[in-house]
């Protein structure tokens, strides 16, 4: 039997496919990319267009009971992750600000709430998801590069500051089993910043882990904050690539 050989075109196609799959499957990756044409030496104003938190763990009954008695809600925990991210990104000369009036333009003026803050927080805890109330519920960091949609998003977010840039970020919380009887959280933070032309100038992805917990995996006890701090520490230590990839695992 003759050995099977790939021609040059087949080899190239295979290499591209393998590289793409490896990039998307990298489960322990932390990376930071910044446009070589955009290297701020001082603080740049960054409008947070979207920041959302989503957990696949579902609602913990004891957490819900504590919340009903005035304890920490999923919204409270999510707000803390945002505060940590805001502090961390200052080290990249990124000053995060919010403007509800501008961000909500991407929601077409529709805001779905019950009108009762405590009821909204309970619903958020049951659904295990939260969006920063000063931002849109529509993430825009996965829009393909070079499309008119990016320009439309930026067009709605623009204000008077011509050097302002626009951030979209998601925090994913995964419930992981370890050693059969123990559980932990894995956090995955994805960030992208667009400039006034709708071009990506900064993008990053990082992950962090909480400590192990026997049988249960509650959000209380600062476990999410600890995992977030771990993720942000890795982000701050990562080498900045002076390029912007058009295809990423964000």
User: What's the pLDDT band for 219 if we cut at 50, 70, 90?
Assistant: confident
Per DSSP, the chain holds a count of helices (H) and strands (E) of 7, 9
Q: Indicate the range of 36-40, 154-158, 176-180, 219-223 predicted with least confidence.
A: 219-223
197 domain residue, yes or no: yes
24 domain residue, yes or no: no
pLDDT at 78 over 60: yes
177 domain residue, yes or no: yes
Number of domains in the chain: 1
Beta-carbon contacts of 107 under 8 Å, excluding residues fewer than 6 positions away, are 136, 137, 138
225-231 long-range contacts (CB < 8 A, ≥24 apart) are 225/77, 225/80, 225/81, 225/84, 227/185, 227/186, 227/187, 228/80, 228/81, 228/84, 228/85, 228/171, 228/187, 228/189, 229/84, 230/187, 231/30, 231/187, 231/188, 231/189, 231/206, 231/207
* Mean pLDDT score of the chain: 82
Helix boundaries (H) for 26-73: 61-68
pLDDT at 20 over 70: no
Higher pLDDT, 177 or 18: 177
Count the Cβ atoms, other than its own, within 10 Å of residue 84: 17
150 domain residue, yes or no: yes
12 domain residue, yes or no: no
Average pLDDT on 33-41 reads 94
Domain that holds residue 127: 35-241
Give pLDDT, residue 136. 95
């Amino acid at each position: 039997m003759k050995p099977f050989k790939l021609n040059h075109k087949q080899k190239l196609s295979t290499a591209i496919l393998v590289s793409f799959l490896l990039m998307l499957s990298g489960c322990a990756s932390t990376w930071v990319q910044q446009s070589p044409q955009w290297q701020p030496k001082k603080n740049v104003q960054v409008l947070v267009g979207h920041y959302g938190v989503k957990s696949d763990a579902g609602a913990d009954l004891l957490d819900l009971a504590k919340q009903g008695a005035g304890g920490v809600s999923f919204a409270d925990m999510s707000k803390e992750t945002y505060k940590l991210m805001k502090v961390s990104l200052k080290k990249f000369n990124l000053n995060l600000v919010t403007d509800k009036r501008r961000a909500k333009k991407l929601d077409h003026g529709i805001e779905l709430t019950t009108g009762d803050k405590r009821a909204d927080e309970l619903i958020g805890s049951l659904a295990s998801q939260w969006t920063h109330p000063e931002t849109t519920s529509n993430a825009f960091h996965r829009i393909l590069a070079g499309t008119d949609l990016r320009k439309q998003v930026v067009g709605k977010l623009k204000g008077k500051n011509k050097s302002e840039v626009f951030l979209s970020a998601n925090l994913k919380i995964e419930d992981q089993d370890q050693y059969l009887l123990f559980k932990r959280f894995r956090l995955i933070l994805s960030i992208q910043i667009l400039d006034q032309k709708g071009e990506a100038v900064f993008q990053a992805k990082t992950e962090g882990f909480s400590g192990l917990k026997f049988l249960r995996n509650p959000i209380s006890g600062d476990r999410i904050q600890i995992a977030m701090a771990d993720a942000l520490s890795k982000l701050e230590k990562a080498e900045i690539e002076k390029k912007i990839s058009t295809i990423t695992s964000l």
